[in-house]
Amino acid sequence: MATARERGLHRFTSMTGGLWDLISTQGARSGPESEQVTRAESHRRVVSLPISDTAPANSNTAPAPVLTREAANRFEYVSKVGAGGMGAVHCVRDKNLLREVALKVLAPSLADDPKYVRRFLAEAQIQAQLDHPNIAPVHDLTLDHEGTNYFTMRLVHGRTLADWIAAAHDSWTPSETMHEMLGAFLKVCDAVAFAHSRGVLHLDIKPENIIMEDFGTVYLMDWGLSRLSVRDPERSDTVVLSAEAAGGVVTGVVGSPSYMSPEQAQGADGLVSERTDVFGLGAVLYAILAGRPLYLADSIDEVLEQARVGRMPHLPEAPRGVPLPARICQITRKALAIDPQDRYQTVLELKREVEGFLQGGIAFPMETFAAGERVVIEGEMGDAAYVIVKGTCVAYTTKDGRRSAVCELGTGSAFGEETVFRPGPRSATVEAVTDVSVRLVTREMLDEGLGRDSWFGAFVMALANRLAQAEARPATVSQPDSKPSTGQEARMDGTGLSNGSGLPAAS
């Protein structure tokens, strides 16, 4: 049974820019009409489906609206797609091009308010100039003679990321579902990074505004809260607004409270920047990992208060019994830093981190050693392995104060592998002959990167155990009068070194 707080999850996540502007102190209008709109939208908050142009097509059918004579000459009504605070989206058939499109109409009650007309125009002009595969293209914008404002855009069919997260919540498989969601997330990053390159901030990034179509197409929807960032004088392709639309850009406390950055919730317009969208993307990452929005409460005021503080709730250590990879959790925490200076400074920086997690999932720290410095020491306890990235090392054992060279290790060589799986004393000393750079590998990194629940992680662990058992069997030891040791002899001697020749490395 869901708690009251968990039920609150569905109350505020689908608030669009238009809805929040209508019920906020910044956008509220005085008089009975304002109260009526507020009551209507309060009732709509309990609906789990998005109420903006992010709803799947045909999800909310309704009697055909009365198209104006001018619009009816061009379009044939099909169905209602969704509705929000500023208007509604309908599926219509373009009689000239013989295709279905999404038609977004400004609410008639707002058509005479210059503020909302300007805002509607700004949304259409901004989205129309963002020509990107992950942003739905706008076809045309019309203010007909009967005073109806509408624009048409590509009709997007699919499910929202919010729906996907909800469906996956009870059957979570991190090695598959989470990675698929993160793959879609990277495409959203592409859309946001492109918008930033054109001088546009989205400011309402959330799972409800992300739609996945069949065959992998992903769209970031609902640009109703977008605004222009500081214009780069060196770029000629930044988005511009008409004089009329420029006055419609929204400021103040606007957005979706459950995913708001602290600066948005505080109405600190001077702090709103590209890093605000980084926070929004971090909130999407949080929803993917935790299966719930960033902030939950039983009232809007409570949600806003959490957003103003901006403190990220703890991620569940093992949702549905499966531990979350530490690295993606760290990435999420950094994206959701309270201070914008502590977040990723660009969306592309955040994207690269998530890509690194998906491609290998393993972040091997680099260490450097000067010539003559010892990397590991014989007899000391160890639990990490090393891979030489640059330089040369020599491995040797010591008996009765005398060195006995085992082998020389160059770029690509690895040593200490067995201690990753079975911590224990080092069987040889490895010393840098030249200045050396190495990558450090630990069991924790392998668990995180390979995925303890994945088939590949299980394969690597089985292989390591098999090699460890082979290492424990009696081995032929090289004779005293043999030639200088090779990598193969080094393994037989029990040092567990690999000289980069492709031989198995157990320690």
Q: What angle do CA 96, 103, 138 make, to 5 degrees?
A: 80
Packed helices 274-290 and 161-168: angle between N→C axes, nearest 10 degrees:
30
Query: Would you say 52 and 222 are in contact if contact means Cβ atoms under 8 Å apart?
Result: yes
CA 73 and chain centroid, separation: 43
Phi then psi for residue 438, to 5 deg, are: -130, 155
Kindly give, in sequence order, each residue whose CB lies less than 8 Å from that of residue 454, ignoring residues fewer than 6 positions away.
Answer: 175
Which residue among 53, 190, 204, 447 is the active-site one? 204
* Unique residue bearing structure tokens 């419609």: 248
Q: Are 253 and 264 in contact (CB under 8 A)?
A: yes
Cβ neighbors of 162 (< 8 A, separation 6 or more) are: 13, 50, 206, 207, 208, 210, 287
**Distance from C-alpha of 377 to C-alpha of 357, rounded to nearest angstrom:** 32
**204 classed as catalytic:** yes
* Rg of the chain on CA atoms, in Å: 29
End-to-end CA distance of the chain: 50
Residue 335 is which amino acid? A
Residue of 204, 212, 138, 221 lying closest to 182 (CA atoms): 212
Query: What is the number of other CB atoms lying within 10 angstroms of the CB of residue 405?
Result: 13
Q: How far apart are CA 278 and CA 305, in angstroms?
A: 20
Residues annotated catalytic, as ranges: 204
